[in-house]
Amino acid sequence: MRGIFSKLKSKIANSSNYLKYKIDDVCNPEISKEDQLEMLEESLITSDMGVQASMEVVDVVRNSVWTKDPEVLRRHIKEAVYDILKECQSPLEPRGVPFVIMVLGVNGVGKTTTIGKLASRYKRESKKVILGACDTFRAAAVEQLAAWGERAQCEVIRQKEGSDPGAVAFDAVRAAMARRADVLILDTAGRLHTKVNLMEELKKIKRVVERELPRAPHEKLLVLDASTGQNAINQTRMFNEAIDVSGIALTKLDGTAKGGIIVAVAKEFGLPLRFIGVGEGVEDLRDFDAKEFVDALL
């Protein structure tokens, strides 16, 4: 377990070091308590923790014994952040055959890669996995998913580029039911998340899946890129309003110094945090563990 923690800490070192230096600055012995609290709030906000979460953390510190000891201050902050994140810790546990996961997100967040890693994970668990290539708009999206399918040894249901995504979803659900697959993962388009036409396409896919398999899709998983900062909040709001997101996967935490965005998302939306991505390897998509994450971050 210690080895897993050490590896996670090394993966999110940019964010961890950023906050460490900020907390050290806040503990300057020459500043007053109010200045300390103001600096702390600013530091948390600039780490992309969001205004709501930052204010909540500062309130916890304000009501604690005032300290100039960075380690004591860090402990207070960790407790406050953990209290926010623990409410959203919720691993994804596929139940039912087939269990349908509809994966959402804008282009570039690592959506298709996340799908490939999920497929590999479930295959290692001896599950039968089928992938549905419903992102028929982006050039090479189908080929990218097919490559992941080959790597994970999963069947990929696909049509030619530009095909109707709803038709692909229909074929994929029918195939998953006929082959008694354990898990069906649907890739979806991700361009221009602010445009109505894309959201209507996603709603159409969802309706098709619901019609063919009642209560599906069982998971609407939104993939967010940690390095986009507060834009991740806007994306979550847009997709959640359109599709009723049921879980979050946060990728590229290893490439940003502002991993606090996961706290902002948790505080703003209260959605289940399913996975974090901390690298390119298949094993670098992890179940979100609030305590492990906070310990590594702070």
Extract the residue ranges of the chain whose pLDDT is less than 50: 1-5, 193-194
Residue 193 belongs to domain with CATH number: 3.40.50.300
Partners of residue 222 on adjacent β-strands: 104, 248
Q: Which of 85, 117, 146 is the last residue of a domain?
A: 85
Please tell me the total count of domains within the chain: 2
pLDDT of residue 254: 76
**pTM to 2 decimal places:** 0.92
Q: Domain of 186? A: 99-287
Q: Are residues 211 and 272 in the same domain?
A: yes
* Coil, helix or strand at residue 72: helix
Dist CA 148 CA 296 (whole Å) = 30
pLDDT of residue 234: 93
Long-range pairs for 24-30: beta carbons < 8 A, 24 or more residues apart: 24/70, 26/70, 26/73, 27/67, 27/68, 27/69, 27/70, 27/73, 28/68, 29/68
pLDDT of residue 157: 97
Q: Which of 27, 55, 85 is the last residue of a domain?
A: 85
Q: Confirm whether 234 is domain-assigned.
A: yes
Q: Are residues 67 and 104 in the same domain?
A: no
Q: Are residues 204 and 70 in the same domain?
A: no
Q: Which of 85, 112, 138 is the last residue of a domain?
A: 85
Q: How far is CA 237 from CA 54, 223, 232, 278, in A?
A: 19, 13, 9, 24
pLDDT of residue 196: 55
Dist CA 151 CA 145 (whole Å) = 10
Q: Confirm whether 222 is domain-assigned.
A: yes
Kindly tell me the sign of the dihedral angle through the C-alpha atoms of 201, 206, 210, 213.
positive
Q: Confirm whether 45 is domain-assigned.
A: yes
